[in-house]
């Protein structure tokens, strides 16, 4: 009888002797998988826009839109008073008669600096509410509290985790301080979600940057479906549309190229293909895909907004704007592209004939990778008409 060429008693044929190799292989597989999550880029610029609609009923809350009636406007006073005092003064001058403004100051000295800026611009410091609390930067849109409301109009705040990017743990603690000052309940979430990452039409539709999916997978090891489902449940979204960020733009925020003007009206930026062919094609695709969505007011209508070039490395935008009830503040760049500024202002005046459209010079502010919406956070009244609160068809 022929024997096996390999003796079962030899080390090579004994499975127990191969265990160290199995363990090493398992460790290598684990390291490769971990490296994928820990080292991969936070943005997924190659992904196509994806619509995700929830089949199960949502929690009975909603997040009002910025074009809805607003109660207050939070303004990041820290850094702004020192670095961009004219922007602060221009915002207060344009909006203070239409909305209560709370300016965040990080110390008594910063409070005095804010007062000095207002006084120097012939503005009444008593017309605004200056809050002194621990805060480090002016990017309140990204770390500030998100206002949600139930069907009866009772408001509460949501605090998402703000991982240090342009701020620190002081900024992350601001929602808690504001909840106590405003007397509102605060719901904390471990999800990483910055205010520039998403836009809502106030009736259940959300445009969400794909960077949110990737950051929560990267830092929290969450599956995309889990991240989307949790955001939808917390903020009352029924339909999330995932949008890849602009190629090369460092924030990855969707408000750098989109804005809602009404429940069914979205402005999407447009790049000249001769200047930026990659992002021109990307925004054309976003506009085409959004045009197929359905809202409670009918199909989404798309308006295109010309975008300035970014040849000098600064990503100027006309969609990073401020809604302050009857007034809408639009960033402009008179020393760089005055002709496009006028086109942008004319477009908004046509689309929003019942509001005053005011341009605010953001020429220097944009060099810090943000515009007007980035330094503010809306606090809506939170009461919709009964027809708006009806179930999504």
Q: Give me 103's structure tokens.
A: 């300016």
- CATH number, domain containing residue 152: 3.75.10.10
More confident residue, 380 or 10: 380
Q: Give me 180's structure tokens.
A: 């106590």
Asked if the model's pLDDT at residue 182 lies above 50, the reply is yes
Question: Is 231 a domain residue?
Answer: yes
Question: Is 27 a domain residue?
Answer: no
Question: Is 390 a domain residue?
Answer: no
Question: Is 42 a domain residue?
Answer: no
The domain of 189 spans 50-383
Strands 61-62 and 146-150: antiparallel
The helix/strand/coil state of 205 is: strand
The helix (run of H) or strand (run of E) holding residue 141 is helix 140-143
Q: Which of the four pLDDT bands, split at 50, 70 and 90, describes residue 334?
A: very high
Q: Which of the four pLDDT bands, split at 50, 70 and 90, describes residue 19?
A: very low
The helix/strand/coil state of 265 is: strand
Over residues 32-39, the mean pLDDT reads: 37
In degrees to the nearest 10, what's the CA dihedral of 46, 369, 265, 145?
100
- Please tell me what DSSP assigns to residue 52: E
pLDDT tens for residues 202-219? 999 999 999 999 999 999
Distance set, CA 130 to CA 106, 108, 113, 114 (Å) = 10, 10, 11, 8
Q: Quick one: pLDDT at residue 370? A: 96
Contact call for residues 217 and 227 (beta carbons, < 8 A): yes
The helix (run of H) or strand (run of E) holding residue 116 is helix 108-120
Q: Which of the four pLDDT bands, split at 50, 70 and 90, describes residue 168?
A: confident
CA angle 328, 329, 334 (to 5 degrees): 140
Q: Which residue has the tokens 């979430």?
A: 189
Burial 260-292 (b: 16+ CB within 10 A, else e): bbbbbbbbbbbbeeeebeebbebbeebbebbee
β-strand partners of 53 = 239
The rounded mean pLDDT for the chain is 86
How many domains does the chain fold into? 1
Q: Which of the four pLDDT bands, split at 50, 70 and 90, describes residue 47?
A: very low
Contact call for residues 188 and 179 (beta carbons, < 8 A): no
Q: Give me 27's structure tokens.
A: 């460790």
Question: Is 191 a domain residue?
Answer: yes
Q: Please, what sign has the CA dihedral across residues 295, 300, 305, 311?
A: positive
Residue 54 has a CB neighbour count (10 Å cut-off) of: 16
Terminal CA-CA length for the chain? 78
Question: Is 293 a domain residue?
Answer: yes
How much of the chain, in percent, has pLDDT values that exceed 70? Answer: 81
* Phi, psi at 122, each rounded to 5°: 60, 40
Q: Quick one: pLDDT at residue 166? A: 53
Question: Is 290 a domain residue?
Answer: yes
155's CB contacts (< 8 A; 6+ apart) are 147, 148, 149, 184, 380, 382
Q: Give me 370's structure tokens.
A: 């943000």
Question: Is 101 a domain residue?
Answer: yes
CA 158 from centre of chain: 14
Rounded to whole angstroms, the Cα distance separating 166 from 226 reads 26
Asked if the model's pLDDT at residue 234 lies above 80, the reply is yes
């Amino acid at each position: 009888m022929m024997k096996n060429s390999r003796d079962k008693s030899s080390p090579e044929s004994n499975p127990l002797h191969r265990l160290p190799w199995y363990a090493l292989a398992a460790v290598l597989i684990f390291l490769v998988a971990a490296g994928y999550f820990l080292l991969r880029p936070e943005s997924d610029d190659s992904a196509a826009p994806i619509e995700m609609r929830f089949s199960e009923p949502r929690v009975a809350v909603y997040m009002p839109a910025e074009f809805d009636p607003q109660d207050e406007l939070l303004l990041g006073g820290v850094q702004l008073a020192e670095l961009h005092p004219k922007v602060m003064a221009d915002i207060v001058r344009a909006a203070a008669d239409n909305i209560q403004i709370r300016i965040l100051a990080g110390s008594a000295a910063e409070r005095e600096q804010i007062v000095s800026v207002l006084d120097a611009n012939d503005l009444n410091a008593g017309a605004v509410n200056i809050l002194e609390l621990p805060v480090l930067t002016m990017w309140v849109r990204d770390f500030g509290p998100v206002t949600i409301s139930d069907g009866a109009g009772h408001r509460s705040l949501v605090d998402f985790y703000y991982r240090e990017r342009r701020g620190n743990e002081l900024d992350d603690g601001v929602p808690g301080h504001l909840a106590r000052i405003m007397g509102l309940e605060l719901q904390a979430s471990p999800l990483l979600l910055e205010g520039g990452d998403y836009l809502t039409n106030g009736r259940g539709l959300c445009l969400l940057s794909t960077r949110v999916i990737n950051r929560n997978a990267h830092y929290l090891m969450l599956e995309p479906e889990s991240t989307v489902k949790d955001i939808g449940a917390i903020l009352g979204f029924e339909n999330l549309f995932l949008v890849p960020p602009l190629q090369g733009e460092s924030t990855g925020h969707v408000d750098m190229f989109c804005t809602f003007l009404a429940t069914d009206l979205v402005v999407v930026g447009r790049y000249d293909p001769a200047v930026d062919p990659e992002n021109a094609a990307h925004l054309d695709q976003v506009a085409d895909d959004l045009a197929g969505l359905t809202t409670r007011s009918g199909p989404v209508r798309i308006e295109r907004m010309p975008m300035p070039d970014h040849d000098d490395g600064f990503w100027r935008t006309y969609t990073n704007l401020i809604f302050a009830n009857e007034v809408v503040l639009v960033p402009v760049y008179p020393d760089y592209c005055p002709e496009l500024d006028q086109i942008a202002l004319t477009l908004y005046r046509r689309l929003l004939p019942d509001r005053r459209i005011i341009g605010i010079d953001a020429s220097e502010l944009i060099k810090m990778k943000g515009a007007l919406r980035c330094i503010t956070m809306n606090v809506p009244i939170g009461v919709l008409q009964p027809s708006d609160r009806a179930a999504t068809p």
